[in-house]
Amino acid sequence: MTARVIVVTSGKGGVGKTTATANLAAALANMGKKVVAVDGDVGLRNLDVIMGLENRIVYTLIDALDGTCRLNQTFIRDKRIENLFMIPTAQSRTKDAVTAEQMIEVCDELRREFDYVLVDSPAGIEAGFRNSAAGADEALVVTTPEVSAVRDADRIIGLLESMNKSPIRLIVNRIRPHMVKKGDMLGVSDVLDILAIDLIGMVPDDEAVVTSSNKGEPLVLSSAPPAARAFRNIASRIAGSDVPFMNLELPDSGSLFGKIRRAIWGH
């Protein structure tokens, strides 16, 4: 097996990187892929909570790097979904506990055993981000339709480009069609116009995300919430299927989808 190693990143904090990582990992595993989600946020780990696996942590990635255990001893197997694993990180250490070379080695070792390796990156542009991105081939940039998040995403895309990650694709998270329609929120087409990278998914703002994060149950396991459908679609697109984009347009608002379509397909 040779996995695709994908870093999930954003620049700005709190835009939904960890939620996206957890849900995409779960959705890909649900499609029958063997997936591992790696928490790259040393010192501020969250992925374990959102995936609901915190009570099962024995060894962390840092233990494996320190030589306390083997890498495969850090794997936590998800009991709900077959083929879904996660590697937790240490809460008691800082970003300096990992180097870029170590992350490359870890990713290369994981590559042999999985179909997909998703690395959840910390916010920021410093060593923590660079390390998480070091071992990855591709990148998913998560942003919300807010000016500050888009500016930070732009910065991150510049850095990812210079690190030679390809493709770099965009997830626009927490879209509120009502606000976009009133002109109180940037639309997806505005965001794409600024960032000039390919869109891989749009996720509507959905209260179910908060509930699922707190419960530690990946949203994609339930069928109803719109955000769950959005994440499943993104997972299918990562896997290479051509899934049409969700229509986040409000009934009778004419233009949002048209604009998105123009932004993506140029007509």
Partner 1 sequence: MIKLKGMYDSMLRCIISEDMDAVDFVKEFDEVRGKGKRFLPGAKVVLDFGARPLSEELIRDIMSDLVWSSGMYVAAWITYDAATQDLLKRIGLPTSEPAPSARTNERALGGTLLLQRSLRSGQRVEHAGDVIVAGHVNDGAEVLASGHVTVLGRLNGLVHAGNNGDETASVIARSMEALQVRIGTKIGSLDRDERWWGKMVIVRVSEGSVFIDYWPAVKSENRDENAG
Chain residues that interact with partner 1, rule: CB under 8 A? 125, 147, 150-152, 154-155, 157-159, 161-162, 164, 194, 196
Minimum distance from residue 205 beta carbon to partner 1 (Å): 23
* CA-wise closest residue to 258 among 267, 233, 201: 267
What angle separates helix 255-265 from helix 188-195, to the nearest 10 degrees? 20
Q: Do 191 and 172 form a contact (C-beta atoms < 8 A)?
A: yes
Q: Closer to partner 1 at the Cβ: 246 or 263?
A: 263
Minimum distance from residue 162 beta carbon to partner 1 (Å): 5
Q: Closer to partner 1 at the Cβ: 67 or 183?
A: 183
Q: Closer to partner 1 at the Cβ: 152 or 206?
A: 152
Alpha-carbon distance of 78 to 54, in angstroms, equals 11
Minimum distance from residue 136 beta carbon to partner 1 (Å): 14
Q: How far is CA 14 from the centre of its chain?
A: 12
Sign of CA dihedral 85, 90, 96, 98: negative
* CA-wise closest residue to 175 among 260, 114, 108, 66: 260
Structure tokens at 68: 């306390």
Q: Closer to partner 1 at the Cβ: 125 or 246?
A: 125
Structure tokens at 108: 């290369």
Q: Closer to partner 1 at the Cβ: 4 or 151?
A: 151
Alpha-carbon distance of 93 to 200, in angstroms, equals 34
Minimum distance from residue 193 beta carbon to partner 1 (Å): 8
Q: Do 81 and 27 form a contact (C-beta atoms < 8 A)?
A: no
Q: Closer to partner 1 at the Cβ: 82 or 126?
A: 126
Phi, psi of 162 (to 5 degrees): -75, -15
